[in-house]
Amino acid sequence: MSLTGFKNISQILTLEGALRKDGRHLKPVDLGLIDDGAIVFDQDKIHWVGRNQDIPDQYRDISFVDRKGFCLTPGLVDAHTHLVFAGDRAHEYAERLNGVTYQEIAARGGGILYTVKCTNEASRADLFKEAINRIERIYSYGVKAIEIKSGYGLNFEKEKELSLIIQDLKKHFAGKMRIHNTYMAAHDIPNTFKSSKDYLDLVVLPLLEELAPLKIIDSVDIFFEQKYFDHLDTERLFLCAKKLNIPTRLHADEFNDNKGAVLGVKHGSLSVDHLLATTEDGFQALANSKTIATILPGTGLFLGKKQAKAKIMLEAGVKLAIASDYNPGSCHFDNVLKLASMVAPNLQINQAALWSAITLNAAHALGFNDQGAIVQGLKPIFTFFKSDSIDKITYNWSENLFEF
Ligand code: NIG
Ligand code: FE
How many C-beta atoms surround the C-beta of residue 43 within 10 A? 11
H helices of 98-202, in order, are: 102-107, 112-121, 124-139, 156-172, 196-199
**Centre of ligand 2 from the C-alpha of residue 325, in Å:** 5
**Centre of ligand 2 from the C-alpha of residue 12, in Å:** 32
In Å, how far are 221, 256, 261, 278 from 253, measured between CA atoms? 14, 5, 7, 6
Q: At what angle do helices 156-172 and 124-139 cross, to 10 degrees?
A: 40
Give burial (CB, 10 Å; 0-12/13-18/19+) of 383: buried
Per-residue confidence (pLDDT) for residue 315, from 0 to 100: 98
Identity of residue 72: L
Q: Please tell me the number of the ligand nearest to residue 80's CA.
A: 2
Distance CA 394, CA 55 (A): 29
The model's pTM: 0.98
Distance CA 364, CA 215 (A): 20
Distance CA 236, CA 224 (A): 12
Identity of residue 163: S
Which residues partner with 50 through β-bridges?
Answer: 38
Per-residue confidence (pLDDT) for residue 73, from 0 to 100: 98
**Centre of ligand 1 from the C-alpha of residue 330, in Å:** 5
How many C-beta atoms surround the C-beta of residue 284 within 10 A? 16
Per-residue confidence (pLDDT) for residue 28, from 0 to 100: 95
Cβ < 6 Å from ligand 1: which residues? Answer: 82, 111-112, 115, 223, 251, 254, 299, 325, 327-330
**Centre of ligand 2 from the C-alpha of residue 301, in Å:** 14
Contacts of 252 (CB under 8 A, 6+ apart): 224, 258, 260, 261, 263, 264, 272, 273, 274, 275, 278, 282
Regions in the chain scoring below 50 on pLDDT: none
Distance CA 330, CA 338 (A): 17
Of 80, 81, 82, 89, best ligand 1 pocket probe by most atoms within 8 Å of the beta carbon: 82
Per-residue confidence (pLDDT) for residue 1, from 0 to 100: 73
Buried residues in 57-84 as b, exposed as e (16+ CB within 10 A)? eeeeebebeebeebbbbbbbbbbbbbbb
Q: Please tell me the number of the ligand nearest to residue 115's CA.
A: 1
CB 119 within 8 A of CB 87: yes
Per-residue confidence (pLDDT) for residue 331, from 0 to 100: 98
Distance CA 233, CA 258 (A): 13
Contacts of 178 (CB under 8 A, 6+ apart): 144, 145, 146, 366, 368, 371, 381
Per-residue confidence (pLDDT) for residue 214, from 0 to 100: 98
Distance CA 78, CA 321 (A): 9
Distance CA 355, CA 360 (A): 8
Give the residue whose CA is nearest to atom 3 of ligand 1.
223
Per-residue confidence (pLDDT) for residue 404, from 0 to 100: 75
Give the residue whose CA is nearest to atom 9 of ligand 1.
329
Q: Which residues surround ligand 2, an ion (CB under 5 A)?
A: 325
Contacts of 197 (CB under 8 A, 6+ apart): 232, 233
Residue 237, classed as helix, strand or coil, is helix
